[in-house]
Structure 1
Amino acid sequence: MNPVLSGLLPFLKSKGLGLLAWLAGILFFLPVAWMALTSFHSEADAATNPPSFGAALTLDGYRDFFGVGGGQSPWPSLVNSTVASVASTVCVLLLALPAAYALSIRPVKKWTDVLFFFLSTKMLPVVAGLLPIYLFAKNTHFLDNIWLLVILYTSMNLPIAVWMMQSFLAEVPVAVIEAAQIDGARLPTVLGRVVAPIALPGIAATALICFIFSWNELLFARVLTGVVAETAPVFLTGFITSQGLFLAKVCAASLVISLPVLAAGFAAQDKLVQGLSLGAVK
C-alpha cells in the first residue's frame, strides 16, 4: 500500500467518525430546534404545511401557557412535578445506596439472582398494574395526592437505581472501607462519608436518570391525579382539546416543561459522563 495512503487512512477514519457524530447530534437536535421555533409562531403560522420558517415571531404561545390572558396557571403543576420528582429521587437514593452496598461491597449470597429479581419488576407492563393501584388509591383515599406519586415513582425507579449503583459501588476500594471500620466507623458513617463521596459521579448519574423518569411520567399521573396533584405532563395534555391541537401553545409548553430536565442535565453533565463510564474499563 502507498505510504501516503496508509498514513492518510487513520486521519480519514477519525474525521469520518467525528463527522458522523456531528450528523447524529444535529439529527437529534433538529426536532428540538423546530419545536422552539414553532413556539414563537402564531397558531395560524404554526399550522401551515409546509411550515413557514420566515413567519413573524410572537410570544403568544408563552403568554397562553403562563395564563397571562386569563387561562389556567401552570405553576401548581410545575410545583407538583418538582415535589414528586425531587422527593422520589431522594427516597430512591436513600434506599438504593445501602442495597447496592450489600450487593457489591458486602455481597449477599446469590446476589446475581437478587439483581435479576430487581430488574424483573420492570418487565411488567405499566398499564397492567394501573387498575390495582387505582383501586388501592381509591379505597385508601389517596387519589389526587402528590405523595402517592412520590411512593409510586420511588418504587418504579428503585430497581434501576439499585442495578446502576451496584456497578458503581463495585469500583470503590474495599481497603478504604476496611480502614474506616478499623477506625470505628459504623455503617451509616461508612456509607455517608466514605462510600458516597467516592461514588459521587455514579450517584449523580443515577439521581439524574431517576429525576428524568419521574418528571416525564404521564400514565399514572394522568389517571391518579385530578386538580390538586396534577403534574406538568398532565397539564401539557390540556392543550389538546376537542377544538383541535394548538400547536404553538403545545410547543411553548413542551419547551418550558423540558427546561428543568435540560438544566439538570447540563449542570450535572460532567458527573453524568463520569458516572456512566464507571466500570467500563477494568
Structure 2
Amino acid sequence: MAAAVTASRPVGRTTRVSGRRNATLLGLLAWLFGVLFFLPFAWMVLTSLHSESAAATNPPSIGAGLTLQGYREFFGAGTGVSPWPPLINSLTASVASTLLVLLLSIPAAYALSIRPVRKWTDVMFFFLSTKMLPAVAGLLPIYLIAQNAGMLDDIWLLVILYTSMNLPIAVWMMRSFLAEVPKELLEAASIDGAGLATILVRIVAPVAMPGIAATALISFIFSWNELLFARVLTGVVAGTAPVFLTGFVTSQGLFLAKVCAAAVCISVPVLVAGFAAQDKLVQGLSLGAVK
C-alpha cells in the first residue's frame, strides 16, 4: 500500500509540471499572436508621427524625428477641410443603427430561443440566407430605390441599410445568448404577472447584458467601418469617416503620414468602445461556449 502511494506521487508531480509547462507555452503563444496583431497598428501610429519624407522611405525609417503635422492636416490646418461632419455622420449612423438592431434583435431572439416559434430553424436559416448575397450585387437596386425616394446623400438611408445588414448577425448572436437565460427566472416572473415588456427589460436584459454588449459592439464596428454603400450613396452632406479617409488618396499621390494619421483618428472611437466594453465582450462571446 505504501509503495503504491509513493509511486503515485512522482506521477502526480509530473502531471502538474506538465500542466504548468503547457499553460506557459499557451501563454507565450497568446502573447505572440497578440503582438503580431498589434504590430500593424503600432506601425501605423509610428508612421503618422513622421514627416512625409521619412514615411516614404523604404524600409521605413523608425528612428526619424517625430512630428504632429499629419494630425494637424487631418484636422484642417492648411487645408480648411474639417473632419468633424464625416465623423459625426459616422457616429450618428453607427449609434442609431446599433440601437435599432438591439431593439429588433432582442425580441426576435426571445421568440426564437426562450419562446420558440414553429419551425424556428427555418426562420434562422432565412436570416442567415440574407447574408449570402454579396453587398455589391444589391448596390444598383438600392441606389435606384434611394434615388426615387429622394434619399440619396441622406444619413438616415445609411441608418436603414446598416440596420438591415447587421440584424441577421445580431439575431443569431442574441439567440445563443438568450438560450442561456435560466427558464426558472422567466417562469417566476410570469407567475408574478409580469408582461413581455417587463420580462425583457427587467429579467432578460440584465442577465444577458454581456451578450447584448458584445452584439452592440460588433454592430457598431461593422457600421463604423462600412465603406461601399457610404461611398456610392452619399456625397457632401452625409459622407462618413471611411469616405473622408479615401479623400486622402489623390491624383498627386499617396501621402502616407497623413493617411496614417487620419486612420488612427478614425480608429479611436472603435478602440475606445472596445476597451470600455472589453469585459462584457469577453463574457458575451464566451457565453454558452462551454456546456
Range of TM-score over shorter length: over 0.9
Match of 1:83 in 2: 92
Alignment counterpart, residue 255 of structure 1, candidates 253, 264, 283: 264
CA distance in structure 1 between the partners assigned to 2:16 and 2:200 by the alignment: 51
Q: Give the match's secondary structure for 2:32.
A: helix
Answering whether residue 54 of structure 2 is matched by residue 45 of structure 1, we say yes
1:9, distance to aligned residue in structure 2 (A): 3.2
Match of 1:215 in 2: 224
Which residue identity is paired with 2:49?
A: F
CA distance in structure 2 between the partners assigned to 1:83 and 1:261 by the alignment: 14
Identity of aligned residues (%): 76
Q: Give the match's secondary structure for 2:244.
A: helix
Is the deviation greater in 27-36 or in 64-73? 64-73
**Corresponding residue pairs, total:** 282
Q: Give the match's secondary structure for 1:71.
A: coil
Is the deviation greater in 178-187 or in 145-154? 178-187
Which residue identity is paired with 2:77?
A: V
Q: Cα 1:38–1:6, aligned 2, differ >3 Å: closer, same or farther? A: same
1:176, distance to aligned residue in structure 2 (A): 1.1
Answering whether residue 190 of structure 2 is matched by residue 181 of structure 1, we say yes
CA distance in structure 2 between the partners assigned to 1:179 and 1:21 by the alignment: 43
Q: Cα 1:56–1:169, aligned 2, differ >3 Å: closer, same or farther? A: same
RMSD: 1.4
1:121, distance to aligned residue in structure 2 (A): 0.5
| Structure 1: tracts of 5 or more residues without a match | none
| Structure 2: tracts of 5 or more residues without a match | 1-9
TM-score, scaled relative to structure 1: 0.97
Deviations 1:177-200 (A, max 9, x none): 122122221111111111111111
CA distance in structure 1 between the partners assigned to 2:244 and 2:263 by the alignment: 10
| Structure 1 segment 1-282 matched on structure 2, within 5 A | 8-282=17-291
1:79, distance to aligned residue in structure 2 (A): 0.2
Q: Give the match's secondary structure for 2:46.
A: helix
CA distance in structure 2 between the partners assigned to 1:6 and 1:70 by the alignment: 66
Deviations 1:34-91 (A, max 9, x none): 0000000011110000110111111110001000223310000000000000000000
Which residue identity is paired with 2:281?
A: L
1:25, distance to aligned residue in structure 2 (A): 0.6
Which residue identity is paired with 1:109?
A: R
Which residue identity is paired with 1:158?
A: L
CA distance in structure 2 between the partners assigned to 1:55 and 1:259 by the alignment: 24
Q: Cα 1:202–1:6, aligned 2, differ >3 Å: closer, same or farther? A: closer
1:5, distance to aligned residue in structure 2 (A): 6.6
Q: Give the match's secondary structure for 2:130.
A: helix
CA distance in structure 2 between the partners assigned to 1:195 and 1:121 by the alignment: 27
1:2, distance to aligned residue in structure 2 (A): 9.3
Q: Give the match's secondary structure for 1:122.
A: coil
Runs of 4+ in 1 over 3 A off after TM superposition: 1-9
CA distance in structure 1 between the partners assigned to 2:217 and 2:116 by the alignment: 26
CA distance in structure 2 between the partners assigned to 1:176 and 1:2 by the alignment: 46
TM-score, scaled relative to structure 2: 0.94
1:6, distance to aligned residue in structure 2 (A): 6.1
CA distance in structure 1 between the partners assigned to 2:13 and 2:277 by the alignment: 44
For the pair shown, which has the larger CA radius of gyration, 1 or 2? 2
CA distance in structure 2 between the partners assigned to 1:174 and 1:215 by the alignment: 36
Q: Give the match's secondary structure for 1:123.
A: coil
